[in-house]
Amino acid sequence: MICDCLRNLLESNCDNDLTFTTEISDFLAHVNQRKFEAIIIEERTLECEKVIEIVKEISYIQEKGVIIVLGETSNLELVAGCIKAGAYDYVLMPEKSEMLVRIIEKSVKDSKLFVEKPNKNKKYGDKLIGQSKEIVELYKMIGKVAITEVPVLVIGEKGTGKTSVAKSIHQFGDSASRPFISINCLSFPTELLDRRIFGYEKGAFKEAILSQVGDLEKANGGTIHLGNVEALSLEIQSKILYLLEEGKFYRMGSTKGIRTNIRIIATSSENLDELIKEGKFIDELYRKLRVLEINIPALRDRIEDIPLIIDHYLIECNEELHKNVKGVSKPALNKLLRYDWPGNVNELKTAIKSSVALCRGNSIVVDDLPNTILGKKIIKRKGDAQINLLKEWIKSEMISAKIGSKSNYYSAIISKIEKELIKQALEISNGKKIETAELLGITRNTLRSKMSNYGLK
């Protein structure tokens, strides 16, 4: 038990009084009766909600005491929840006891710089899965960032989960009950994006029959997430910069400023420094957005998390494809661990779905894996990552479709793609058919007809 190891090490290296207890009631009684420089909680037998509740209670009582949680498991709700509730650190076990002592000593020295405010527990459907040091550090960073209201810039390769991080920051924040609006800046032409973000007045352009509230007004008091922020035109960038500097913006076609209380979380997979040099991104906006910056590790830098991610998505894929695949064979797992994953978690999720679709037994074998993973030479791919994912999906669809010998694969697969494309466009446009048709480059009548054929509302 880690408690016994710490007792031996601390008693031989510490001049202060030490108190150990295994009962929660005794633990809380000690905390209420006297002040401690450091409070260590081992979460081994405690439920996630209980750990966060204890941390929260202690942080109220022991204003100057440093709280460290020693854990054997890792998930975003637990780690970020503990940090946000007032814990100085969350240390994932196993860890050398000597290292834990150094962490405790450092935490006490740094305690004057550490301020956290507790908040209500929430439920989080996060997809940031793992127990590696890299992902635990990400969890802790989310917990620290969530308690502030300043802009955040989230950097990471495509498929690493930048949108999930943005949502988690909002969910752990004090404005979690307020709106969270996410905009993929790559999904809109500049003019349409301008209207979407800032809104417009009646008569601002030919089709503006009525005034329209923009997302900045809709998200007032909450969070707006600008995904792929590098895709913003310089004109829209300057408007966002003005909003950050002045706290207000203008609808298209209006001269009346609108004040809003909103937090901006921007995400990007591009090198914004290079874009600044090329004159494609405003330097001052970059500085305003990166008041707080989070870097998400690539999947290849935390390969020990891959088995956990596989287990998580196997459940989803089994339900979706009506399969009962229980795991991955050792040779197949070795292939997955050696692969470079240029598409990161998104690519792994697609690979699992493809493998489950092809699997004929209870376990995924090497032959079930996508061709990209079975390549003789593993190299980093960038531009072709999404194409490879599409190829594998089409392959799995053709194999699992079970269409008769005279059936038309083309119609079956294209209809699936077209239906999903329209669904995504409707989501991006918040169900507005004019914007959806404009995005897809089709007429409104064509859109209505296709929506009717696919049963879309």
Q: Which domain holds residue 331?
A: 311-400
pLDDT confidence band for 82 (50 / 70 / 90): confident
5 pLDDT more than 80: no
Q: CATH code at 431?
A: 1.10.10.60
Q: CATH code at 390?
A: 1.10.8.60
Contact 19/30 with Cβ under 8 angstroms?
yes
Q: List the single range of 34-43, 239-248, 391-400 with lowest mean pLDDT.
A: 391-400
Q: Is 255 exposed, middle or buried (0-12, 13-18, 19+ CB in 10 A)?
A: exposed
171 pLDDT more than 60: yes
Q: Which of 357, 378, 400 is the last residue of a domain?
A: 400
In this prediction, residue 424 carries a pLDDT of 83
More confident residue, 387 or 29: 29
Partners of 258 in the β-ladder: 249
Query: Per the domain annotation, does 346 fall within a domain?
Result: yes
pLDDT (average), residues 293-321: 92
Question: For residues 180-216, b (16+ Cβ closer than 10 Å) or e, as one string?
Answer: bbbbbbebbeeebbbbbbbbbbeebeeeeeeebebbb
Top-ranked range on mean pLDDT: pick from 174-183, 227-236, 440-449? 227-236
- Cα gap 110→440, rounded to integer Å: 54
- Cα gap 132→296, rounded to integer Å: 13
Based on the domain organization, do 287 and 333 belong to the same domain? no
Based on the domain organization, do 264 and 348 belong to the same domain? no
Query: Per the domain annotation, does 135 fall within a domain?
Result: no
In this prediction, residue 9 carries a pLDDT of 55
Q: List the single range of 41-55, 147-161, 183-197, 311-325 with lowest mean pLDDT.
A: 41-55
Q: Across the chain, what does the average pLDDT equal?
A: 83
- Cα gap 74→48, rounded to integer Å: 10
pLDDT (average), residues 175-183: 91
In this prediction, residue 286 carries a pLDDT of 97
Q: What is the DSSP string of 56-69?
A: HHHHHH-SS-EEEE
72 pLDDT more than 80: no
Output the CA–CA distances (angstroms, integers) from residue 157 to 256, 294, 295, in the order listed. Answer: 39, 12, 9
Based on the domain organization, do 394 and 430 belong to the same domain? no
Instruction: Tell how far CA 363 is from the center of its chain.
Output: 29
Top-ranked range on mean pLDDT: pick from 151-160, 316-325, 399-408? 151-160
- Cα gap 116→148, rounded to integer Å: 10
Q: CATH code at 66?
A: 3.40.50.2300
Based on the domain organization, do 190 and 76 belong to the same domain? no
In this prediction, residue 112 carries a pLDDT of 42
Top-ranked range on mean pLDDT: pick from 109-113, 237-241, 378-382, 383-387? 237-241
272 pLDDT more than 90: yes
- Cα gap 364→335, rounded to integer Å: 12
Based on the domain organization, do 180 and 273 belong to the same domain? yes
Query: Per the domain annotation, does 6 fall within a domain?
Result: yes
- Please report, rounded to a whole number, the percentage of residues in the chain having pLDDT higher than 90: 41
Task: Return the beta strands (E) in 107-146 as ranges.
Answer: none
Based on the domain organization, do 354 and 380 belong to the same domain? yes
- Cα gap 29→86, rounded to integer Å: 19
Quick one: which of 179, 167, 183 has its CA closest to 429? 183
More confident residue, 64 or 117: 64
CB atoms within 10 A of CB 52: 27
Which tokens go with 63?
């204003």
Based on the domain organization, do 371 and 431 belong to the same domain? no
Based on the domain organization, do 82 and 201 belong to the same domain? no
Q: Work out whether strand 292-295 and strand 152-155 pair parallel, antiparallel, or are unpaired.
A: parallel
Query: Per the domain annotation, does 233 fall within a domain?
Result: yes
In this prediction, residue 117 carries a pLDDT of 31
Top-ranked range on mean pLDDT: pick from 136-145, 269-278, 394-403, 433-442? 269-278
More confident residue, 36 or 338: 338
Based on the domain organization, do 188 and 278 belong to the same domain? yes
In this prediction, residue 96 carries a pLDDT of 64
Q: What is the DSSP string of 39-97?
A: EEEE-TTS-HHHHHHHHHHHHHH-SS-EEEEEES---HHHHHHHHHHT-SEEEESS--H
Quick one: which of 88, 75, 85 has its CA closest to 52? 85
pLDDT confidence band for 222 (50 / 70 / 90): very high
Q: Which of 266, 295, 324 is the last residue of a domain?
A: 295
Query: Per the domain annotation, does 301 fall within a domain?
Result: no
Q: CATH code at 274?
A: 3.40.50.300
pLDDT tens track for 112-145: 433 333 333 333 444 688 888 899 899 989 998 9
301 pLDDT more than 90: yes
164 pLDDT more than 70: yes
109 pLDDT more than 70: no
Based on the domain organization, do 355 and 428 belong to the same domain? no
pLDDT tens track for 21-56: 777 777 778 777 777 878 888 887 788 888 888 888
Quick one: which of 148, 214, 219, 143 has its CA closest to 178? 219
Q: Which of 125, 140, 162 is the last residue of a domain?
A: 125
Query: Per the domain annotation, does 436 fall within a domain?
Result: yes
Output the CA–CA distances (angstroms, integers) from residue 59 to 31, 117, 456, in the order listed. Answer: 10, 8, 50
Those residues with Cβ within 8 angstroms of residue 263's Cβ, 6 or more apart along the chain or in another chain = 149, 150, 151, 152, 170, 173, 175, 222, 223, 224
pLDDT confidence band for 14 (50 / 70 / 90): low
Task: For the chain, state the CA radius of gyration.
Answer: 26
In this prediction, residue 408 carries a pLDDT of 66
Based on the domain organization, do 323 and 211 belong to the same domain? no
Q: How many domains does the chain have?
A: 4
324 pLDDT more than 70: yes
Asked if residue 189 has a cis previous peptide bond (ω within 30° of 0), the answer is: no
Based on the domain organization, do 191 and 224 belong to the same domain? yes
Query: Per the domain annotation, does 98 fall within a domain?
Result: yes
Query: Per the domain annotation, does 142 fall within a domain?
Result: no
Which tokens go with 366?
């090497």
pTM: 0.68
